[in-house]
Structures are given as structure tokens and as C-alpha cells.
Amino acid sequence: MTDVIGESIPRIDAVDKVTGAAKFADDFQFGPGLLYGRLVRSPHAHALVKKIDATKALALPGVKAIATGADTPGFIGLYLQDRHIFATDRVRYIGDPVAGIVATSEEIAEQAIKLVQVDYKVLPAVTDPLDAIKPDAPILHPELGNYDVANFIFPKPGTNISNHFKVRKGNVEKAFAESDVIVEGEFGVPQIQHVPIEPHVAVALAEQSGKITMWASSQSPFAQRNLIAKALHISQGDIRVIAPYLGGGFGSKAGVSMEACAVVMALKVQGRPVKLRLTREEEFFTTFVRQGLVARTKIGAKKNGKLVAMKTEYFWDAGAYTEYGVNMTRAGGYSSTGPYEIPNVQADSYCCYTNHPVGGPMRGFGMPEIHWGIEQLMDQVAEKLAMDPRDFRIKNCIKTGGEVVTGWAMHPIKLDECIEKATAAIDWNKNEPASAPNKKRGKGLAIMWKAPAMPPNAGSSAYVRLNEDATVTLGLGGQEIGQGTHTVMAQMAAQALGVPIDWIRIATPVDTQYSPYEWQTVASRLTWSMGNAVVAAAQHARQQILDLVAEHWNEKVEDLDIKDGKVISYKSEESMPLQNMVIYGLPKEGDCGWRGGPIVGRGNFMPTYVTGLDPETGQGPRAVVHYTVGCQAVDLEIDTETGQVEILRVAAAYDVGKAINPDQVRAQMEGGVVQGASSALFEQLQLRNGKPINPSFVDYRIATSVDTPREIIPIIVEEPQDDGPFGARGIGEHAMVPTAPAIANAIYNAIGVRIPSLPLTAEKIFLAMQK
């Protein structure tokens, strides 16, 4: 729906081999002086780095330079600065970058990394979060107490716990003693990969003037600029990050992973750009993965069906570095009850260092993981109480004004309506036969909540600049990753300004030198946060236009409006098109000069009302900006001869506040259901002693078109968000959250089997039925 300007920088190529066509594309964009990088990676899960000898590699014709940990003594990280760009004294996972080779071709760089000799002293590895917390476990980060950390993260120096988030609310033990029904269980979630179709790629150029430019496939150009600048002690004003459209992200391209390596390598060959592109194999385990989780939860309820107590321990397999994982641990803690009102809660959420790949943000940011156990246990409570799982949830789900786990009163929501509509869509009360004698049919549901997990002061900004013909250039810092944010921002700008949407032009690519600031494209926050900034910028421009015309017509501003690109007066019925006057202004009477000038609107937004929480109780006035809530109901069949699951119908109902673009909202629900089903039925990064054994699409299964549900029924529910633009909230991640437990509950309904660990493979289901 929108035009795009400024795409003068072609896409960074991402083919598997540097073919002639790819080389031509690189030369066209960056010139024939482009160099290529490859990384020397640790073959050990945990080891000391004793010596690096690059003599043979540097002697190879075409090799230009090597970068090592000696070039990166500083630390880097978003919430916790716990890693070097290149490993210095020790490596902590298989794939940890030890050095970077720069050469005239990718093939030469690949040969050279095999010639670099690294002397390691292998150390005992920790490959399970439950082992990581044992008193005699090897300490993976002895300097944890010296790391810089955000003030809402609570590491435990001398242990492998990089964050411990606690909730203490009410009297849990007393409530359990008075409970009529108690259920408890342990649930496991493995590390999985985001598998974006485009792998990570970055090109960096360090000029002799000290200026650095990086082109990157990035969800976080401004965060990358800031983090790399601080790690290398360079001014943020001297680093420019340009981020073209992404070929998929899902959180994997948030923050910093390999991009900083490209910058350091470019600094070794100043004046020549260096391209660093990961292979598909590297993509599986050397960038962020979704953290694993072991969850232990106990729930108590009364005979009347009301929940009264919950006790939870979360042990997050956060991997070798937890700069991002610590905040996921926090989000799991302040959302630990799921979308239920429970008066007595004890929760301990531990971020555990292991010698596994680095855990980081992925669609849902910890919520799919915690809801996996919560929603299965809620079904078990309902079963013990002889209550319908739907009625049980309607009775206990959080509602407007209810007190959430951190003590805050819930803003207006319609979660109960979501439950009713989702279950009705799959004919919840109707017992329907299976399609064959060897198949069993079952129905299940799960509900969810998720808040944008971000610092309390994450900000957005935007500008609106009108052109001579009254078309509008809209400047944004948020990234388009396929979620349609550019279309939604154009809709908001057009509505707030009063012009047709096809007059809006989005200024791309995102460029930290020219684009307005945006914290990151994460947390399902752009529609809400960047949307508020866009509306403010459009209103600022609109006010300038109305002030100008009011003075010109000698009328009051409140009598004027802008409709379809014209200023109109409700009093005098005058009208004036925006063309030209938004640049050149309007003449004063009697040829006595001009008034006005080029119209540029600017807007920003930052929530000012999020408060800290007590570190011992997790209680506080307002932990988050808001929650998006929803429900999924699943109708499926299981082949009892093979364990194969076929999903017949999924109804997904979400309270989105206000659907700015209903078609895109439905598309997000559909995509979330499919990705959630993929993670539920197939996906697992298989690790043996820290070594990934399935880093390819041959062995790492994801859902394809034949695995998708026969029917997905997206349902929009709207209860306006008080601080959202036009009442909108985010919906990008939420539909992935309850899919897995809804499927698990439907499986139980069909065959009476519960499998506590993901994925729910046909093999697991078949073997469970045999038992």
C-alpha cells in the first residue's frame, strides 16, 4: 500500500557460495575492494584459550588480516555485559568465535581459518541448567560480580546464576494447606532455532577518518550502534548502521551477535569493506537460539473452582552468555502465573549459564516456554474439580481490574470473550467422530498473556516531512521484517494528518545517520510505541498547517480541519489544498511577504509510568506497559498406529486493543499458529555434550505446508488500550504462545496421554500410548 523511497542500497546477497553473480552484486554495491571474512570457532564446549598461532593462515595468498580477542578486551551485552566480541581467555560453547580471518574471497578465508592453530585446555562442561545450579558445578563466569548489569537484573556472583527473579505474594504454604485440589508437574522445553530464510550477514567499512559504516541484516540497528560503540570505546556518532529489509528475523537478529565481529575485522583493514556471512550450519547454533527451560510448578485450588496458590521454579538453559536471556528470565518471573488471578504466589526464575549455544530473544520471549507447563496443569486442576476446562478458565482468568502477580491492577481486557469465541469456533461442546477407525479425535485449549519485555525507558521517534505536491515522507527507525509495520505506520500517519494513505512514502532503509531513533524492532511494540511517535509527528505537522491557514484566513484553529489533503473550514466553508503551501507557505495581504515555510513534524514516545519491582517480592505499582491476551482452541486427530498428529482446526482469538489493519492482524495470528505448531510437533536443537548434531534442514525438522492445520480461524477481539495509538496493542508474537499447550491438551483429550517435554513427536506419542 505504500511507496518506498531511498532504496539506493541493494540487498546484501546471501547465497551459499560466492558465485560469479554474487560477486558481481557485491562489487556493484561495495566496489571491487570488498574483502570477505570467516570466523575461527571453538570446537570445545568449555576450554581455556592458551595460544593462537596464525602464521600459516597469514602466509596464505589472499589473506589480509586476522582479528582476535587481543583486539576486543572490552565486554559487550544488552542487559548484562558478559562476553567479548572475540573470546579472550576462555571459550564457553562450541562455536564461540576465537578469531576472524579477512581475505580476498570467501573460499580463501575458509581455507585460512583451518590453518589457524589454537591451543586449548579443555575444562569440564555444564550442559544442563539443573547441573549448573549445583554447589560443585564448574563456574563458567568467575567474573560475574564485575560485569556491568541493568539495575533490574540480579546476578548471583560465585554461581552460574546470572539473574534470579523472585515473586513473593500472599502466604503460599497456608494456601496450599487449605487447598482442596493440588496438582504439580515438571515440564521441559528444548533450545530451538529461529531458522530465518536469510542467514545473518553484515558488511563493515572502517575509514581512516575513524568513521565506521555497517550494513547488516538487523532488527536492532540503533542498539547495535550503541553496543558496538561502547564495547570498542568509539563514539556512537562515528558508527553508522544501515539495515535493509530483512529476510526473516523472529528475534534472532535483535541485539548483537556476529555483527560486532565484522566491525572488528574491518578495523584491521581500514579503507576496505569486509563482508561476513554465516552459513546455514552456523545459523543453527552460533547465533541466538530460544532458551531451554525446566519448569517445576505446583497449583492449588478450592472446591468452588477458584485458584488460590501457585509455586513455581523456572530453570532457564540460557547458554554460554546471557546478555539477553537475563531479561527473558525476568519476564518469565513477572508473568509466572500466566493470565490468572491467583492471590498466593511464590516464583523463582533462574537464568542459568550452561555450555550450550547462546540463548536470546525469539518470538514470544519466554512466554511459549512458561505457558507450556502452566496450561497443561490448569487442565489437570479442572479435571480434578470435574470442571470443563473452558469454564474453569473463564472463572479464573485475569479480568479488568484484577490483581496481577506483581500487584498491579489489570487494564481493560476481554480475555473471557476470547475464550468463549475461540471455543465456539471449534464447536467445543460437540463430540465429533474421528475420520477413521485407527484415529482418535480430541479438542483442547490454552490461554495466554504477554507484555512487551523491555526496559522501562525504551523510546521511539518519527518525523513527517511534506513535499511540494503534499506527498509525505515518513521517517521511521523501526524495521520492516515482514510483519507489515510500514503499512500500519502509513495508515496511522495518513489518519492523524488527514491525507490519503497513498500520499505516504516510507523513508528506507533504516539508517542510524538519518532515521529517527527506535530502540529495537522486538517485543511486539512497534504498533504501540512507534505508532504513538508517528501519530505525534503527524499531529505536530498538522498543527503547523492549521496554524498557518488559520492566520491566513483570520479564523480560529478549532474551526479548521484537514480532510483528504485539503484544509477545510467548518465555519466559512473555505477549502485549500496542501500542495505547495506546505513548502512555500502563504502570501500575506498586499504583497507584504510570506508566512509559513517547509512543514516538518516530529514526534517521540517513551512510557514514563513503568516502575521498578521489589527485588525480594517482585511487587510494584506497574511492572509493564500492558498485556495482550488471547486464547487458542485446537481440534485434532491422532493416528493410533503411528502417533502422527493432524491438526484439523485452530481458532485463535486475541484482544488486540484496536486492529489498525485487520487483514495483517489475522495474518499474524495465522503465522503464529503455524510457527507454534512447528515448535510443538517437530523442533529441537539436539545437543550432545554441547555439540549440535542436527544443524541442517535435513535433520532439523520444521513445519511445511503439509503440516499446517487444515483450517485456522483468526478472531479479533477489541478492548482499546488507553495509551495505544487509536487504542492498539501489539499482536506479532502472541499467537505462538499457547499453541503447544493447546495441542498437548487436545492430545490428552483424544488418547489420555500427557508428554511433559517438547517436541510432541509422533514417536513420543506412539511410545507413550504403548505404555
User: Which residues are catalytic, by number?
Assistant: 733
SS3 491: helix
Using CB atoms within 10 Å of the CB of residue 525, give its burial: 0 to 12 exposed, 13 to 18 middle, 19+ buried. buried
The residues, ordered by sequence, that sit 6+ positions from 37 with a Cβ below 8 Å of its Cβ are 100, 101, 102, 103, 109, 261, 262, 265, 274, 275, 276
The residues, ordered by sequence, that sit 6+ positions from 268 with a Cβ below 8 Å of its Cβ are 64, 65, 66, 67, 71, 102
Residue 449 contacts residue 627 (beta carbons within 8 Å): yes
The residues, ordered by sequence, that sit 6+ positions from 734 with a Cβ below 8 Å of its Cβ are 364, 367, 448, 450, 524, 628, 630, 654, 672
Measured distance CA(509)–CA(527) in Å, rounded: 19
Using CB atoms within 10 Å of the CB of residue 709, give its burial: 0 to 12 exposed, 13 to 18 middle, 19+ buried. buried
Measured distance CA(637)–CA(640) in Å, rounded: 9
- Grid cell in block for residue 194: 529461529
Instruction: Give the number of other CB atoms < 10 A from CB of residue 596.
Output: 19
Helix (H) or strand (E) holding 230: helix 221-232
The residues, ordered by sequence, that sit 6+ positions from 147 with a Cβ below 8 Å of its Cβ are 75, 77, 80, 81, 82, 141, 155
The residues, ordered by sequence, that sit 6+ positions from 429 with a Cβ below 8 Å of its Cβ are none
Question: Omega of the bond prior to 97 within 30 degrees of 0, cis?
Answer: no
DSSP 334-351: HTTT-SB--SEEEEEEEE
Question: Omega of the bond prior to 509 within 30 degrees of 0, cis?
Answer: yes
Measured distance CA(186)–CA(197) in Å, rounded: 34
Instruction: Taking each helix axis as running N to C, give the angle between helix 485-497 and helix 531-553, from 0 to 180 degrees, rounded to the nearest 10.
Output: 20
CA dihedral sign of residues 747, 750, 751, 752: positive
Q: Which residues pair with 445 in a beta bridge?
A: 633
Q: How far is CA 309 from the centre of its chain?
A: 31
Measured distance CA(480)–CA(750) in Å, rounded: 41
Tell me, what amino acid is at 462? A
Measured distance CA(276)–CA(653) in Å, rounded: 42
Cα angle vertex 515, ends 509, 521, to 5°? 70
- For cell 503464529, what's the residue? 672
DSSP 432-486: ---SSTTEEEEEEEEEEEE-----TT--EEEEEEE-TTS-EEEE--S--SSS-HH
State the greatest distance between any 2 C-alpha atoms of the chain, in Å, as a whole number. 95
CA dihedral sign of residues 486, 487, 488, 492: positive
Cα angle vertex 572, ends 567, 573, to 5°? 55
